[in-house]
Structure 1
Amino acid sequence: MKVTEFDPPSHGQPRPSSGDTPVDAGRINVVDALRGSALLLILLVNIAFFSSGYEFHLVDDPAHGAFDVLVSGLVELLFAMKAYLLFAFLFGYSFTLQIDSAARRGVVFGPAFRRRLSGLFVIGALHAVLLFHGDILTTYALLGLVLFAVRRIAPRTALIVAAAIVCGIAFVVGVAAVLGGTLVPDEAAAVGAGARSTLALGGGLGDVLLEHLRSMPAMLGGLAVQGPLAFAAFLVGLAAGKHRLLAAVPAHEALLRRCERVGYPIGLAGATVFAIGGGTANLTGLMVSIVTAPFLAAAYAATLLRLFTRRPRVADAFAPAGRMALTNYLGQSLLCVLVFTGVGMGLVGRTSPAQTLLIALVIFAVQMVASSWWLRRFRYGPAEWALRAWTHRESRRN
């Protein structure tokens, strides 16, 4: 009898990891662990947009004191503009694994992948309206079509194109800064808008949905920068995947150490300029971060990969969350809506940045435990199962 995706795995199933979570054949545990880590970093950045309406308008809450500003600045310095690059890199890397998997099974990759992207786009659109106006899934779905079109690009060429994209975006933002452009032309008006957004998020379901819809145009404008940078990270992940970089991490120890030696000094220096300059609200700091954030993201990845290789049990702790990345990404938004908006506990505008980060850590800890529990019983997370069912619906009909 065939085991379905939601059937518990056989007790005799091999377990490549050192823990007790069943791992599908062909999965790379460190990739899942790295993806789980990226989910945590993304939550640490995104949760601020749930806890306060001011964040979206690129201004600080007037009620925040010096310590609050310091905590927010540390998040800007360490994680903003870096977390999503790490996640995008893994999207590109996993793309090569999907191609290999299709080849092993003798399946035509293109139709199934395009169908998968269409499902991802729909999920992202619903996510943006219902839960989080800062959704990235729709962008990934559209950029995935471009990635598929250039799938045969040579690794070296992919890296050159990625560097060109980063430099090109930085140049455009730099020119805008020199010409006196600003993302917050009237700070007083932005503070007023932040207060109105906070009030709306504290209202009922209708108020929250209207606020999400109102925010869409500005969020789409932000994707003019984030989208190309995410695609550049796709290409780096594609190049790494073609070299099977994460399939044998110890063999690339010298490269990982080089990423740390170069990435941390350059990345942290640029992140400091970015954070002190006002984060994404300042075009000059944004330009510096566009150039240097990839270095810091690469250093983070190198450190985490070396940690997971030397401490397999740490990798086993993060890997289940990474295997259920889509479910957990959506779950993070749902939990934040229930904690912060008027739909649930209504804590929006009532928690300090430090308290907000603590809530993020609690949410992710719960997700780690829940993911491990779920995957001991089922092969896929709920959202992964639904997307997989949509992706392969036509082939099952035939």
Structure 2
Amino acid sequence: METLNTKQRLLNVDALRGFALVSIMLLHNLEHFDFFFKPKNLPNWMIQLDQSIWDTTFFLFAGKSYAMFAFLFGVTFFIQMNNQAKRGNDFRLRFVWRLFLLFIFGTINSAFYEGDILTLYAFVGLFLIPFAKLNSKTVLIVAFILFLQPFEIGKLIYYFQHPNIEIGNPQSWTYFGKLKEYIPGDSLLETIKGNLTNGKKAVWIWSWENGRFLHLLSLFILGMVASKKNLFVQTVKNKKFWLRVFIVSIVLFIPLFYIQKYSLGTIESKAIRATFKAIEKSWTNFAFTFVMLSGFLLLFYSKFWQKILNVFSPMGKMSLSNYILQTIIGTTLYYGFGFGLYKYTGATYSLLIGIVSSIALILFSKWWMKNHKRGPLEQIWHNLTWLNSK
């Protein structure tokens, strides 16, 4: 069988995780870390360029970067479970403790940036545990049901029966509106307080409104099964599998994107339109996520592209450290307690800042991994995970 050794096999996963993290960073920079603000008195050419960069970056990565990251969370979960099973250990209770530690890391990250995803991962990850010992067919059925967004479909059926029902703005908007009260201010303490109270409510409510909880679990499960099936081993059979995924994902994405762009506005009922949009958008993002994910893995079969894409590997190996580092760097640059760059940087300059920050973290990761087995926070997480173990 045409395979690579274990060390090489993991490079595509590390590189994909690093790529997902970089794309998350670029989005966060364009959004000024959830503090949306357009600088005033810009020339028309800069306004047009900013809009083009914003539209392109969001088309490529919004709703997809976090999905790739979530898929790889499931991959790591199975690797850890499987490694311990080979030693005769049941990792599930230890994984609960590991998720609690992740929640702590996420809370620290949330103090600087309310849009943190680590606390969401820690919570949703608990629901992954019951599926660890089930057969792949069963869990794939569950993943598919979660992908369909059953709660939103239930709402849609109800709204079809009551098309004239009045619905208000999403509840999360109220909390996001309050960001203006503390993020522009120069007090780090007030920013932390606001992020850990108002900010966390905003993100968790928004995540529920947009179906993120169900999609996260679906992606966790899919990553777990992909790892269980050894789909990251570079074989001819797996290359054909990812090619099929790539083609099917494109075939699904094109009509879904067309509906999203041109058909949603024709729905007269606000309730039906809003609910259908939430479902359709999540499906569209899901499809394009797997276009990017499978495309990345297919490129990795080429030695030429593998050499290029391996640039992301060191960053992927210490993704926890880099995720929190990019938060601290970014919020210090953009928020009022730091340099307040949100007032001056449109999408163009923010993208450049994101690219420079990404390069800096890639170089830092490469330097760190030359002398360490794990990233700094990964080592702490590992040590605490196995605290009091034999």
TM over 0.5: yes
Deviates more, 1:45-54 or 1:231-240: 45-54
Give 2:21's match in structure 1, choosing from 39, 46, 70. Answer: 39
- Give CA-to-partner distance per residue, 1:3-45, whole Å, 9 cap, x none: xxxxxxxxxxxxx99xxxxxx9697111111111111122222
Secondary structure in 2 matching 1:43: helix
- Partner of residue 232, structure 2: 246
Secondary structure in 1 matching 2:35: coil
Is contact 1:340–1:348 with CA below 8 Å preserved after alignment? yes
- Partner of residue 121, structure 1: 103
Residues 175 and 79 (structure 1), Cα distance of their counterparts in 2 relative to 1, 3 Å cut: farther
Alpha-carbon distance between aligned partners in 2 of 1:308 and 1:31, rounded to the nearest angstrom:
10
Mapping of residues 284-295 of structure 1, within 5 Å: 284-295=276-287
- Partner of residue 367, structure 2: 373
- Partner of residue 228, structure 1: 214
Is contact 1:74–1:275 with CA below 8 Å preserved after alignment? no
Alpha-carbon distance between aligned partners in 2 of 1:107 and 1:254, rounded to the nearest angstrom:
34
- Partner of residue 315, structure 2: 321
What code does the residue aligned with 2:243 have? R
Is contact 2:207–2:213 with CA below 8 Å preserved after alignment? yes
- Partner of residue 82, structure 1: 64
- Partner of residue 100, structure 1: 82
Mapping of residues 245-324 of structure 1, within 5 Å: 245-271=231-257, 274=260, 283-310=275-302, 311-324=305-318
Residues 121 and 186 (structure 1), Cα distance of their counterparts in 2 relative to 1, 3 Å cut: closer
Is contact 2:178–2:198 with CA below 8 Å preserved after alignment? no
Residues 61 and 250 (structure 1), Cα distance of their counterparts in 2 relative to 1, 3 Å cut: farther
- Partner of residue 146, structure 1: 127
Is contact 1:92–1:236 with CA below 8 Å preserved after alignment? yes
Is contact 2:175–2:199 with CA below 8 Å preserved after alignment? no
Mapping of residues 90-239 of structure 1, within 5 Å: 90-128=72-110, 130-167=111-148, 168-172=150-154, 174=156, 179=165, 181=167, 183=169, 193=177, 196-197=180-181, 200-212=183-195, 213-224=197-208, 225-239=211-225
- Give CA-to-partner distance per residue, 1:225-283, whole Å, 9 cap, x none: 211111110111122122111123543222222222221243255346557879xx965
**When the two structures are superposed, what TM-score results if normalisation uses the length of structure 2?**
0.83
Is contact 1:176–1:283 with CA below 8 Å preserved after alignment? no
What code does the residue aligned with 2:241 have? L
Residues 256 and 117 (structure 1), Cα distance of their counterparts in 2 relative to 1, 3 Å cut: same
Deviates more, 1:262-271 or 1:84-93: 262-271
Is contact 2:172–2:203 with CA below 8 Å preserved after alignment? no
5+ residue gaps, structure 1, are: 1-15, 18-23
5+ residue gaps, structure 2, are: 266-272
Residues 175 and 209 (structure 1), Cα distance of their counterparts in 2 relative to 1, 3 Å cut: farther
- Partner of residue 387, structure 2: 393
Deviates more, 1:377-386 or 1:27-36: 27-36
Distance apart, 1:80 and its partner CA? 1.2
Distance apart, 1:63 and its partner CA? 7.6
**When the two structures are superposed, what TM-score results if normalisation uses the length of structure 1?**
0.81
Is contact 2:17–2:69 with CA below 8 Å preserved after alignment? yes
Distance apart, 1:88 and its partner CA? 0.8
Is contact 1:119–1:387 with CA below 8 Å preserved after alignment? yes
Residues 337 and 385 (structure 1), Cα distance of their counterparts in 2 relative to 1, 3 Å cut: same
What code does the residue aligned with 1:201 have? P
Alpha-carbon distance between aligned partners in 2 of 1:171 and 1:63, rounded to the nearest angstrom:
44
Query: RMSD over aligned Cα, in angstroms?
Result: 3.2
Give 2:55's match in structure 1, choosing from 52, 73, 81. Answer: 73
Is contact 1:41–1:83 with CA below 8 Å preserved after alignment? yes
Distance apart, 1:384 and its partner CA? 0.2
What code does the residue aligned with 1:290 have? S
